[in-house]
Amino acid sequence: MGNEGKNAIKLEIGLVPSSAWWKNLRAKITEKEWDMIRHETYLKYGYMCGICGSKGRMNCHELWKYNDISHVQKLVGFIALCDMCHHVKHIGLAGILASEGKLDYGEVVRHFMRVNSCTSADFEEHKSREFMIWEERSRHKWKLDLGEAFGKKGELAGAKGQSKLDRFD
């Protein structure tokens, strides 16, 4: 999966720094507001997974970009994900659910391999790399930036003069 001429992976693990857990848009808005966002996202993706194209139950997943110098976590959009792609994105939680007998972890790994046309060794390499990044990022306090993906129409705007970076701290 490195530079050996293989295709770039479509489905990546996306670990949120532990210092930023529960500091996300969904945790800070009402259920009604989140429902509006997720239903718009599902419609945008045609009620199909934005990564693997499967149909069925969908999850609205927040897309973040991380600035490792300024420690700003910026919301850049939303994507509709099937349960399996969502479990890959949250592989740490998937491991916990599997240890409780609530999820087949092997199926999550097989889904990653199927979507990315790769081997289990490729999965393990990707997972190790992502956990190393996660460990480093978890050493820092992160600020949230809702960016243009949220608020450009004025929905859920903070109090007058309030910085988007500080709204959810």
- What pLDDT digit, counting tens, does each position of 134-153 carry? 988 888 888 888 766 555 44
Give the amino acid at 115: V
Q: What is the structure's pLDDT at 160?
A: 37
State if pTM tops 0.85: no
Q: What is the structure's pLDDT at 14?
A: 86
Flag residues of the chain having pLDDT under 70: 1-7, 18-24, 147-169
Q: Comparing C-alpha atoms, which of 82, 84, 91, 94 is closest to residue 127?
A: 91
